[in-house]
Structure 1
């Protein structure tokens, strides 16, 4: 006979666990039962043992005599309405409704299409030539000595007259510029996620993720490479190296008036070239006097401020021009402003933005020299502007003649614009035309050497007659 002990028998506990979860640890005595009636007759109150042993503490309430906690209540900053003023803000990526003429209306400017004659005469007159001819490739592939495979060798170029060395330098400058283009489009390790693109020829095609060099980075790289290539002409023109300096990411912040309204402009350009002397004004005094008869654009019934945003700023805020050294510095005159514009902006809209940027730099330079005046300038201020995207270049020459912006009559400012200059055409692949839908590399064609000739003429202006 086998004895079944308590340790060997299974005690059913499932119903007890379910009952405990159901009651949540609270057991009430039913007064309708016999035991409940007896306890009620004798006046015995049944309570929880845990509550009886450890009674709960009374709920704390903060005294009403103390001040509220300063850490919980953040006082609002007192704003005096008298210290604030309303202005119309002009951003860098602003697109004007009427394009270039709209920007000329806000800046009281007369526009001329094309470059000024003094700069147009320099286009193609001088070209960069390689003073170190290309050597034959080495026989040993493991040793590379000499040759022209290094991008840093771009600095070993000089300047020559086009009429004297046309046959020799006709293709050398183009080869150097093409190297800068390939460097900005292909020879870069950046692999960022590119925006999803679409093609009107096949809207239903499902594009995959593409990685590569963003268009904004390619535009900045090409702009810097071409500037470095233009600086290599300093071997023949030493004043370019001694009388100029380059500043990256300078900021400009200023306000100006337009028909009893205050306009505010704040921007950070990519590159600004300063010089020891002012840029000569391409417009003579006779042309300045004749500008009084020019009529600006009439946008009625639309307001010229339709694209601007009204914001509040402090009256005590100190506005400044381009962040640079004081006027006594040898190179303190802004000469060339180089900037980029996003791909979604058309060339004409970008040219209008370049007009505003050049106008603001010239305006602050005039205020820095002549103080706060509202009349015509005896010596106009001229600023050059080169605005580019991934492959398109806009050239702007702005001449500030007057600071009187309260009315549209009188002397006007001048601007010469030559926009929508495509240096090359970038053709992206169309995978649906391939039998296996492969993503082939981009193709670059239709190179135009005339664009860099204009770039070089803008850079050499005021240093070569």
Structure 2
């Protein structure tokens, strides 16, 4: 860089700003002194090839360009820098055999009958008699008022205000609605469901076994089983799973009377000797759905990226932890987006999968000495479905084996009526300002739903 005395006369006054003149002088008269490469003391004694960025690198010091570079940390910000692996090189890719994937988005066009065919299950469209007898026997003080307050809180009185989805006008009318902020539907359902579970937990003073239960949220679940010579992979993220320290007792305990048939010559002493003997009679009369020439797996997609083994979602900290109830919280945008038959089919498939994983853990040899029972509750806005699944056999491919699984279904239970729509436009109470008045005036509460919920929750307590 020239000295200031040498720069006299180079500046032209009043022609350009001073900083621009200094920039021009630096570009024309300046010199760049190349710094020397200095190594830290910690690296001087090591035999490391140092690449000087100011000079041409040594070709022997560079890595081979043919080897792909893999990022040490798979951060989403740098995924675009990493070339995606081919599907065949994925660590979960199975070359030898693909599976039929059943997840939370799968829909069975035949509904419950198709799910029962895939799981070798016989349905009964009622709650078991042992649960019906307990309805209304246990109650909480002011339970109906508390449930109604939970409903009001979830719809109108919660402090959460988020951007709601745009309302849609029917018949494709070109009508725009203003942006509204309120309580999202996922938040509404979690408020009602979690408060109902906490209300049931308040009975721990009368039933100490309730304190030994655990509630897990958003845990993964997957398992694989073979049916009709095809592998079926069940995969889902369970929203809520309730576990207990003892397994649920089976509904039908005597399974050695499957040769009994219904008719005029039916032994009437069976039902008096065994209260659930009529389920065995109905099971013999049930005919599975005949889908020929269509395969029962027609609605399931083929997949080669799946994990082997079984996963319940929690680590086996204790040997005495069993699935009690699975709560399925629907993510459908509208309550009429899927039919009740399709939702019940999903419940049967995933409840069967949870019972299958528990049976494999209890009986590694594959022979069930005692049936495995698991309950399941479906929840969407104000709609509840209750099912009780009993796994009786692990033999699904033998057509001569008469033992089948049982499932009890109690569907279409509405906690309240006249729910205000958050998506479709309501001309009377269509804005957030009128929701509180709507909730206070129009909702009709149904107390029988919580009685069933409480009866299922208290199963297995002493």
Pick one of 333, 350, 353 that aligns with 2:346: 353
Hey, what does 2:14 align to over in structure 1?
Answer: none
Note if contact 2:224-2:308 (Cα within 8 Å) is conserved in structure 1.
no
Q: Deviations over 1:74-119 (max 9, x none)?
A: 7966749974420000011322111111211111100001110111
Q: Distance in 2 between matches of 1:217 and 1:179?
A: 15
Please report how far the alpha carbon of residue 69 of structure 1 lies from its aligned counterpart in structure 2 after TM superposition.
2.5
SS in 2 for 1:285: coil
Note if contact 1:292-1:412 (Cα within 8 Å) is conserved in structure 2.
no
State the TM-score, normalized to the length of structure 1: 0.69
Q: Distance in 1 between matches of 2:284 and 2:219?
A: 34
Please report how far the alpha carbon of residue 311 of structure 1 lies from its aligned counterpart in structure 2 after TM superposition.
0.7
Hey, what does 1:98 align to over in structure 2?
Answer: 110
Please report how far the alpha carbon of residue 389 of structure 1 lies from its aligned counterpart in structure 2 after TM superposition.
0.8
Q: Distance in 2 between matches of 1:223 and 1:75?
A: 41
Superposition map of 1:14-163 within 5 A = 69-70=65-66, 79=89, 83-129=95-141
Q: Deviations over 1:337-358 (max 9, x none)?
A: 1121123333332222111121
Change (3 A) 1:312 1:206: same
Superposition map of 1:16-415 within 5 A = 69-70=65-66, 79=89, 83-129=95-141, 172-200=142-170, 203=173, 205-241=175-211, 243-286=212-255, 289=258, 290=280, 291=283, 294-313=286-305, 317-326=307-316, 328-330=318-320, 332-341=321-330, 342=332, 343=334, 344-373=337-366, 377-409=368-400, 410-415=402-407
Q: Distance in 2 between matches of 1:192 and 1:288?
A: 57
Q: Structure 1 residue 423 and structure 2 residue 415: aligned?
A: yes
Hey, what does 2:434 align to over in structure 1?
Answer: 440
Note if contact 1:108-1:408 (Cα within 8 Å) is conserved in structure 2.
no
Q: Distance in 1 between matches of 2:449 and 2:256?
A: 28
SS in 2 for 1:462: coil
Q: Relative to total residues, which structure has the larger strand share, 1 or 2? A: 1
Q: Distance in 2 between matches of 1:357 and 1:234?
A: 29
Q: Distance in 1 between matches of 2:371 and 2:85?
A: 48
Tell which deviates more after alignment, 230-239 or 358-367: 230-239
SS in 1 for 2:305: strand
SS in 2 for 1:185: helix
Structure number with bigger Rg: 1
Change (3 A) 1:84 1:416: same
Q: Distance in 1 between matches of 2:285 and 2:432?
A: 61
Q: Deviations over 1:320-374 (max 9, x none)?
A: 23133437444x111111121123333332222111121111000000011152x
SS in 1 for 2:435: coil
Hey, what does 2:42 align to over in structure 1?
Answer: none
Tell which deviates more after alignment, 206-215 or 249-258: 206-215
Count of matched residue pairs: 353
Note if contact 2:243-2:325 (Cα within 8 Å) is conserved in structure 1.
yes
Q: Distance in 2 between matches of 1:283 and 1:357?
A: 21
Q: Distance in 2 between matches of 1:304 and 1:383?
A: 24
Q: Distance in 1 between matches of 2:236 and 2:214?
A: 20
Please report how far the alpha carbon of residue 205 of structure 1 lies from its aligned counterpart in structure 2 after TM superposition.
4.2
Note if contact 2:224-2:310 (Cα within 8 Å) is conserved in structure 1.
no
Q: Distance in 2 between matches of 1:392 and 1:361?
A: 23
State the TM-score, normalized to the length of structure 2: 0.69
Which residues of structure 2 form unaligned runs of 5+?
A: 1-55, 70-82, 259-279
Q: Distance in 1 between matches of 2:222 and 2:130?
A: 31
SS in 2 for 1:441: helix
Note if contact 2:223-2:235 (Cα within 8 Å) is conserved in structure 1.
yes
Hey, what does 2:447 align to over in structure 1?
Answer: 449
Q: Distance in 1 between matches of 2:65 and 2:189?
A: 55
Q: Deviations over 1:432-458 (max 9, x none)?
A: 459x99963262412101000000000
